[in-house]
Amino acid sequence: MSDRSLRGMRLGAQSMETEAGVEPAPRQRVEYRCEDGEQVFVTFSSEADVPQTWTSKTGKEARLVNGEKQEESNEKPVRTHWDMLLERRSIEELETILQDRLDKLRSARGAAMKA
């Protein structure tokens, strides 16, 4: 027994099933192109809604080749809390308020440390 090595299989490392008779889902290969001419190919399910734009690996926005161009909407952009705050206060006012609050917190923290 010492001259023979024991062989086993790791659990979950390899599947005992074969891919014989398995048919993959239908797919479509879609081409996108950046403004500088870079081509991007993406594979989607044949049932998937294909987006008009795709971000390439280089971070550039690519548009669908032979796709319909999206119409620019005239909707207002979403207003954030910061936008609404800037409508009521100026940056100088906000800095003053921030400094007042920080001073108040620091004085309260200093009083708690002394006690």
Give the domain ranges of the chain. Answer: 27-64, 78-114
Q: Is the whole model's pTM more than 0.75, yes or no?
A: no
Q: Considering the domain 27-64 in this protein, what is its CATH number?
A: 2.20.28.270
Kindly report, residue by residue over 63-83, the tens digit of the pLDDT.
998 866 556 667 888 899 999
CA distance 32 to 34: 7
pLDDT of residue 71: 62
* pLDDT of res. 103: 94
Nearest to 65 by CA among 39, 36, 28: 39
What was the pLDDT predicted at 110? 82
Please state, for a pLDDT cut of 90, what percent of the chain lies above it: 51
Q: Cα 110–112–115 angle (5° rounding)?
A: 110
